[in-house]
Each structure stands twice: as structure tokens, then as C-alpha cells.
Structure 1
Amino acid sequence: MSGSLVAGVDEAGRGPLAGPVAVAAVILDPARPIDGLADSKRLSETQRDALYPLIVERALAYAVVLVEVAEIDRHNIFRATMRGMARAVAQLARVPHEVLVDGNKVPGDLPCPARAIVDGDALEPAISAASILAKVTRDRHMRALDARHPGYGFARHKGYGTPEHLEALARLGPCPEHRRSFAPVAALLAPGLFDT
């Protein structure tokens, strides 16, 4: 429909062993297009950092939420991500007419119809913009966590299960930012310490 507000929604950080999931929702302004939008994974860090302020400046509305580790461990990563997506949409300054979600599932509790689009971050500019906001926000957050929890290498691997991270995890044990519901972390905990 003409003049309809479409929000793109995407996340960053479902797979890592540590840190939050970042979820973004973006309503782009058709009158202020942004060149270079693409799936954040296909862009360099420099490209993402350059696009971030353009999206923030030109979007009709945007919101970014962090779904913290406690919520991920309490609800599981899928449900926690869906809850974060609903919160991001709810925090938009304008209510969209439709929500487009990257992937094959849509969250409940949305104020409007929604569609899931597989590879949507490469196909829909609003989802691409959301993927960039989520990725840049999460990467910045993980660099801050690296300063608070030195030794794990969060600034480099962003919490993903790289050999460096797994070695540090085995040597240092989990910190409060590790997802205890994820198998490599749970394996290092004494039985009974963590119950889902």
C-alpha cells in the first residue's frame, strides 16, 4: 500500500557462547535512500561503521535492544530472540503497517502483520539496515565486555566459539557473560550448578 510503514527486523549474535543478542528494527524513509545497504555479514567493519550513522540519521524510526544472557539462558536462544524482536518493534517511535523479519519465523505480540523472509538481510533494505544496526551495536558491546572481562578475547571473536575463545574458557572458566545453556559452557560447570 502506498505510504505504508515497513519495519525490517534482524538480530546479531545468536550463535556466540557469550554476550547478548542484539536485535534491531528499522523503518526506512523512501525519500532518503541509503546507498550500500547489504547483509551486515557481507560488509566490512569499516563499511558497517560508515552506514550506521546514516541509518540512524535517515530512518523514520529505529530501535535496538540487547537480550541479555540471563534471558537467553532462561528462555533458550530462539525464544529469547523472538522476545527481543517484539520488544524492538514495540520501541519504534512509529507503529509499522508491516514487519519483515529475517529468517523463517516471526515473533508473536506484534502490533501489525509480519512476514518472515529467508535471506531477508540480503533482499530487503530495511532488514539490511536492521542487520547493520544490530551487528555494530553488538560488536561495540563485546569490545566493552572485553575490558570488563579480560583474557577471553571478546573484542576479537565477539563471543563466538573460536579455538582462542574455547581455550580461554577452559583455562579461566565461564564469566558472568557466558551463556550457561550453551553446551561448551555447560560442560565446564559442575553438575547441578546450572539448571534450565
Structure 2
Amino acid sequence: MNKKNGGSWKIILSGSGGQGIITLSRVLAHAGISARLNVSFLPAYGAEMRGGYVYSMISLSTQELISPVISQADIGVFMDENSLKMLKQYLKNSAWLLWNSSLIKPDGQIKNYAIGIPASEVAEKIGSVKIANMVMLGGLLRILEETGFPGREKDIAYGVKEIIKEQKNINLNMLAISEGKRIVDEVIRNG
């Protein structure tokens, strides 16, 4: 399943308001900065406080970045059904696809290099459904490793500490990231 990306990763992350897409994206952007990559982060969201659409485009690269807009993403991370339907058109045919299988049921829209993570269920078992985004981040990190991402555990920890301020929440988020990474690692090793 190894697909090297040649030093550039274009990622679309999407869900509904309140699912932590912006937090996940900010953690990932800070991790990229810690790994000494060029980073662009373009968030977009509806006017609603909760429940509206939310997505972000993140580019991580060893090369200079020209634009934050992504028309063909290498990786898509989707927290709910509507976000997948709305943004799957921005994925390359060969893109990795991670979806929250607690909220999205696979159908013909799920292609190769696709992995479902029961992020909401896993997060609830860990302690709070609010950290489902970090379970998904863990899965994304495993995919990034698979594609040659130079970031390490210390870079992710840096990103978490930059965005999450309370120590007990940092620990909970790091646990969620580890669990998401473990789930995707298992799929890749057995796949």
C-alpha cells in the first residue's frame, strides 16, 4: 500500500461544525512547521456555530507553496456523510481516503486506498466523543508516514501542545491520536 508523495502532501479535511476539523487542521499545520515543511492552511466554514459545513485545505511540502487552494488532494479525511459527498470531487483518483465509519456507511463512493475508522466510537471509549477528530488525525498521520512524511512523534506532540493548552486534554488527545494511528497501521499491515 506504500505510495510515496515526493515531498508534497495536499490534504482536504471536512466535517460539520463542532467536529473539530479546524482544531485537527491547526494541529497538523503546526506539526508540519515543526517538521520544517512549508505549510499552507485554508479553512472554510458556514455561518452556523454548530452543524454547518467545515473544511480545510492543508498543503505540506519540502518545496515552495504557490497557492493554498487544492483542486486535487492526495488525502481526504471526512468526519460525516455530507462532507464526503460535497468534497470527494476534489480527491485524485489515487488519493487516500479516511472516513469516520461511525457516521459514514461505505457505498460506491469509497475507492482504493480507503480506510474507515470508527472515530466517534473510539473517542467515546477513550473518554469523550469530542476527540474523534484526534482519532482521525492519528489515522492520517499513519497514512502520511506511509507516503514518506518526514514528521515524527515529537512534531505531532508540538502541534498538540501549540493548540491544546490544558495538560489533561493534551494527554487525552495524544491517546486518541495513538489509537487512530494503531487502527490504520493494523489495516495497512493486514491489507
TM > 0.5 fold call: no
Q: TM-score, normalised by structure 1?
A: 0.29
Q: TM-score, normalised by structure 2?
A: 0.29
Task: Indicate the structure whose relative CO is greater, using CA pairs within 8 Å and at least 6 residues apart.
Answer: 1
Bigger Rg, structure 1 or 2: 1
By percentage of residues, which structure has more strand?
2
